[in-house]
Amino acid sequence: MYLRPFVKFIAHARAPLLAGLLIGLALPAAWAQGEEIKPVVTSNARWQSSLDAFAAADRLSAPAQGGVVFVGSSSIRLWRDLEDSFEKHPAVVKRGFGGSQLRDCVELVDQLVLSYKPKLVVVYAGENDLAEGATPQQVLDRFETFVQKIKASLPESRIAFVSIKPSP
């Protein structure tokens, strides 16, 4: 009975504490190695071939509106039976592009998501953000921005986030 407020505090404080711990461990390690921490610059040109391939596929067979858009990194791109697994939906749009980060999904949300007017958006992104040095808080902020952009245009659409893991 006396632990309940403490447990609630820990549950709410866990993410910021983890983010602080990760930053606290990462920064001294980088300084000790004499490495400069540089911001990563995103360029849509990096994804132009993927965007061109998506546009070409849409010209051949335009997906019906109101389906499911899967967006994110190579885990979406390499999901071999995705279309078969979700065949009951009016349309399944696979928009995974390898190496992408959540911030790329934010920048390209019009092409990757909004143009299809989906009822459901399934996101697997953020793992590459972490691998490139983003903090957990930055990943969360990017996801929130992504959701806000979708909700501003498609307020009825639902959004599902597939849990990520840190990868080397």
pLDDT by 10-residue block (mean), the chain, 168 residues: 41 43 41 42 72 90 92 86 86 87 94 95 93 94 97 97 82
pLDDT of residue 168: 67
Q: Is 135 exposed, middle or buried (0-12, 13-18, 19+ CB in 10 A)?
A: middle
B/e letters for 48-81, b = 16+ CB within 10 Å, e = fewer, are: eebbeebeeeeeeeebeeebbbbbbbebbbeeee
- Enter the tokens of residue 130: 């972490």
pLDDT of residue 43: 56
Q: How far apart are CA 64 and CA 68, in angstroms?
A: 10
pLDDT of residue 60: 93
Q: How far apart are CA 127 and CA 166, in angstroms?
A: 6
pLDDT of residue 87: 85
pLDDT of residue 98: 81
